[in-house]
Amino acid sequence: MSDNKPIFQPNREFAKEARVKNMCEYHALQNEAMEDYEGFWSRYAKEKLDWIEPFTTTLDESNAPFYRWFDGGKLNVSVQCIDRHLSSRKNKAAIIFEGDRGDKQIITYLELYYQVNKFANLLKENFGVQKGDRVVIYMPMIPEAAYAMLACARIGAIHSIVFGGFSAEALKDRIEDAKAKVVITADGAYRKAKPYMLKDVVDKALESGSTVVEKVLIVERNNEEIAWVAGRDYSYNELIKDKSPICQPEPMDSEDPLFLLYTSGSTGKPKGVQHNSAGYILWAQMTMEWVFDVKENDTYWCTADIGWITGHTYIVYGPLAMGATTIMFEGVITFPDAGRPWKMVEEYKINQFYTAPTAIRVLHKTGENEPKKYDISSLKVLGTVGEPIDPPAWKWYYEEVGGSRCAIVDTYWQTETGGHVVSPLPGATPIKPACATMPLPGIIAEILDENGQKVPAGEKGLMCITRPWPSMIRGVWGDDERFKKSYFGDVKKEGQAVYFTGDGAIYDEDGYITITGRTDDVINVSGHRMGTAEVEAAIKKHTKVAEVAVVGKPHEIKGEGIFAYIVMKGEDSFAQEVELIKEINNIIKDEIGNIALCDDIVFVPGLPKTRSGKIMRRILRAIAKNEPITQDTSTLEDPSVVEKIESIVKSCMI
Ligand code: WTA
């Protein structure tokens, strides 16, 4: 290998049994895809999916970028995840649930089948939910959340999960945009042994009457006192009692939508990313098999929340499609102490552990020696996702958690890609720390410049995927133009618009890909995407705010923190008023939720703008990072503002 980075070879013993055993096998798969792209995907779709009716076309590119996969085929994702396992795995644990307070539940595939069918019957019979209807799920991490997702899939309803930390306003926006008919929630949940509420957030979101929600279903979790709206609110625990445990799955076209998941972009409100049935579930299953290499008797744990894409693909759909045992965890991994995950690994003999760099940093900082206290020798594969992992966190994860014997799969992907796109294969890929390594077989990922030319090794470029793949985003709900513009508007290769991820990346001389982070105005806070435009829109709701610009700033634990520059109306003193900061953060909490709270808020006399009025965020980013400004400021409308901002920021940081 040509550069000086250390290389970690796959564990030989592990590789012997792995699905992809070495780089020859990896290249053979990648070449197969290159030589006969459709043949490759058609082979896997036939091999992996249970079809009700076989597909007739593999890929239809005639209406690009509205690509279609596996047309003519009919299937049902809940059958792929449950029914097809009943002959060989009916008594196998499908979901192992551990609650915040340590309460446990094991749900076998047969039990999951009954629960999902009953839930599906409830949605149909009591609420009249039909194929194509949208159902919003605003739930804690409890098994009923997974039942709800699969029940929607069974009857062809489109679920849209909203992360439980989003505010009423954010929930309302998503309910409205999707025109959801039903909301499924819980009476509450537990976090760090204390109850927290969800139902009152739903009530508030529906209060304005601007949605078309007809029914709200409430799952019991902590028996907190909640308000009931007659004729709208129903108890899941009551209604489910007399439901039949058999529900015929709806035959779905390959391209019928499976779910929406709202995610932040660089402009405007969050977009409803749409994933469809066949292509999504195929890649969820294939990547589970290749990247985590889960074996029949393994126990796999992904610590994400089902409110994010990682929870969709790698807690629920991927593991269940392949017939694995997946852990669902309600709690916080540092509670009651930073030994919690390792205690769980010991107890459940977990073999694959998948988490975010931000979690690894916290576990490292607050519990460096915790892994030593437990027997975590069952671990075989460790995963990371959501943001670049820094070398010190990687080293600790590799040595102390993985005992220098587990592969670390640094999986690069997005809500829009549905599943992993660049990642090591644990039995094959020699790993360089903190590097996502290579595209998975079947994914044609290239780093291009703005003219669609491949950049040379060592030069930063735009991370693109130049051929459609089965699990790619199918649309932005209700906005075809935004879909085209957001993902296919920036880069053309040989005249053809290609998918641009929004991330920058670099190849090294060995062809290894390192992701360098977003090139747009999206901040990655603890692995969660936050559009600066969204945070700015919230801050602008404060009546005294004239202007605002939000940028990301490196943060030791969260990866990036949120830094806001605010110009107040008619202010000429720039006292950094604590009360005002509180008020602004309260607005953010109401408009978006705690995850968007600003780490720094500074009041400034103006923003650096070009003569055409464009805010020069690069300057603001440099100031927030306390870096020298390398840009020419003479073209600014008021160059003197930069110095003023710098001195205010410096005085605030003391
Ligand atoms: C970032 C999460 C570096 C990237 C699955 C991407 C990463 C965004 C990695 C998607 C990684 C994800 N290394 N950066 N391994 N994985 N990202 O939609 O900026 O919540 O565009 O999906 O996270 O975030 P999203």
Q: What is the pLDDT of residues 244-282, one digit of tens each?
A: 999 999 999 999 999 999 998 877 789 999 999 999 999
Nearest to 630 by CA among 615, 647, 642: 642
> What is the pLDDT, as a whole number, of residue 612?
82
Q: Whose CA is nearest to atom 11 of ligand 1?
A: 412
Task: Read off the pLDDT of residues 484-531 as tens digits, 9 standing for 90 and up.
Answer: 999 999 999 999 999 999 999 999 999 999 999 999 889 999 989 999
**394 occurs within a structural domain:** no
φ, ψ of residue 321 in degrees (nearest 5): -60, -35
Per-residue confidence band for 1, with pLDDT thresholds at 50, 70 and 90: very low
φ, ψ of residue 217 in degrees (nearest 5): -110, 130
| Substitution site in 309, 314, 529, 534 for ligand 1 pocket (most atoms within 8 Å of beta carbon) | 529
**417 occurs within a structural domain:** no
C-beta 524 within 6 A of ligand 1: yes
C-beta 529 within 6 A of ligand 1: yes
Q: Dump the DSSP string for 589-619.
A: HHHTBGGG--SEEEE-S---BBTT--B-HHH
Alpha-carbon distance of 535 to 542, in angstroms, equals 12
Instruction: Provide the percentage of residues in the chain whose pLDDT is more than 70.
Output: 99
**606 occurs within a structural domain:** yes
Contacts of 642 (CB under 8 A, 6+ apart): 608, 619, 623, 629, 633, 636
Q: What is the CATH number of the domain that holds 549?
A: 3.30.300.30
Q: Is a pLDDT exceeding 50 seen at residue 187?
A: yes
643 beta partners = none
**490 occurs within a structural domain:** no
- The domain of 630 spans 521-653
Grouping H, G, I as helix, E, B as strand and the rest as coil, residue 397 is helix
Beta strands per DSSP E along 508-558: 513-518, 522-525, 528-531, 545-555
- Of ligand 1's listed atoms, the one at least distance from the Cα of 436 is 15
> What is the pLDDT, as a whole number, of residue 653?
75
**544 occurs within a structural domain:** yes
563 CA to centre of ligand 1 in angstroms: 20
Alpha-carbon distance of 91 to 574, in angstroms, equals 66
> What is the pLDDT, as a whole number, of residue 571?
66
136 beta partners = 160, 183
559 CA to centre of ligand 1 in angstroms: 12
Per-residue confidence band for 541, with pLDDT thresholds at 50, 70 and 90: very high
- Of ligand 1's listed atoms, the one at least distance from the Cα of 411 is 15
**528 occurs within a structural domain:** yes
Looking up tokens 């107890």, which residue turns up?
A: 347
> What is the pLDDT, as a whole number, of residue 288?
98
The domain total for the chain is 1
**318 occurs within a structural domain:** no
| Substitution site in 264, 432, 515, 595 for ligand 1 pocket (most atoms within 8 Å of beta carbon) | 515
Supply angle C-alpha 212, 154, 351, rounded to 5. 115
C-beta 518 within 6 A of ligand 1: yes
Q: How many other C-beta atoms lie within 10 A of the C-beta of residue 135?
A: 27
Contacts of 232 (CB under 8 A, 6+ apart): 206, 213, 214, 215, 216
